[in-house]
Amino acid sequence: MASDFDRYSAHYDDYTADPIKTWIGGNSSQYYLQLKADELCQHLHRLGLEPRKLSALDVGCGTGLAAQMLQGKFSELHGVDSSQGMIQQARQRELPGVVFRINDSKRLPFDDNRFDLVYSMSLLHHVAPALRHEVITEMTRVLKPGGWMINFEHNALNPLTCWIVKRCPLDQGVTLLRAADMARLYRMHKLREIHARFILFFPKQLALFRALEPRMHWLPLGGQFYGCGQKPR
């Protein structure tokens, strides 16, 4: 997987551009990442947490765009990716206070119980289903007791999302997750307070209706969802 993303790293947005995505909201990954970055912080507040007091790890950070959006939101922020090309692009952003590392093994390059928050933005569908257990194992290992894991993913139950994924060169051959799949992975790792929220119900042209989305979070029709779970204390 690393070598494939090395090939795409220099022109990542070009490979993710799609006319359908343009109609929905934007012709690059920036629009969608900003929505997810904002939702991440909003949900932490729902959990009664203050992001600025948390240490955070972005697993599969790619070119560092999400980290750029979240810069200054946490007490410390680290990003890790298996693609050297992606990390090179991330480091070129020169984000003060954000540390990017290459992860060239199955083990994350951090000590046990290191972070208050471990999250990913559309990472798990790029991992073969048989290997997702290993990824969640590592994410859980570096999470502090009482810390939270949040993984954003494309919603496999949304037909438009599935169509866009099939059209994207970076997503060829991937297997999308359902919220139930993620919850099952979390339960296997003894996470608690497991829940999912669905987002991105309306295109940008209907952004006026976005105010309704927090009330629709239970409806499994949003374009994206995220699974949230807490490591036992």
Residues 6+ apart with CB under 8 A from 49: 148
pLDDT digit string, tens, across residues 85-102:
999 999 999 999 999 999
pTM > 0.75: yes
* Angle, alpha carbons 188-227-140 (nearest 5°): 45
For residues 116 and 144, the answer to whether their CB atoms sit within 8 Å is: yes
Provide the CA 233 distance to its chain's centre, in angstroms: 24
Residue 44, both tokens: 């932490």
* Least confident piece of the model among 92-106, 202-216, 218-232: 202-216
User: How far, CA to CA in Å, does 226 sit from each of 39, 85, 117, 195?
Assistant: 10, 27, 14, 8
Strands 224-230 and 76-81, sheet pairing: unpaired
Provide the pLDDT for residue 210. Answer: 85
Q: What is the pLDDT of residue 31?
A: 83
Residue with the larger pLDDT of the pair 14 and 210: 210
- pLDDT over threshold 70, residue 217: yes
Q: How many CB atoms lie within 10 A of CB 158?
A: 21
Give me the phi and psi of 76, to 5 degrees please: -155, 150
- Supply the pLDDT for residue 4: 57
**Residue 1: per-residue pLDDT:** 40
DSSP three-state, residue 42: helix
Which pLDDT score, from 0 to 100, does residue 11 have?
47
Cα separation of 51 and 147, whole Å? 12
Q: Residue 3 above 60 pLDDT?
A: no
Q: Dump the DSSP string for 157-186.
A: T-HHHHHHHHH-GGGTT--PPPHHHHHHHH
Residue 160 has pLDDT above 60, yes or no: yes
Name every residue whose Cβ is closer than 8 Å to that of residue 43 and which is 6 or more positions away in sequence: 150, 197, 226, 228
Domains of the chain in sequence order: 17-57+104-230 (3.40.50.150)
Query: Could you report how far apart the first and last alpha carbons of the chain are, in Å?
Result: 34
Alpha carbon 61 to its chain centroid, in Å, reads: 8
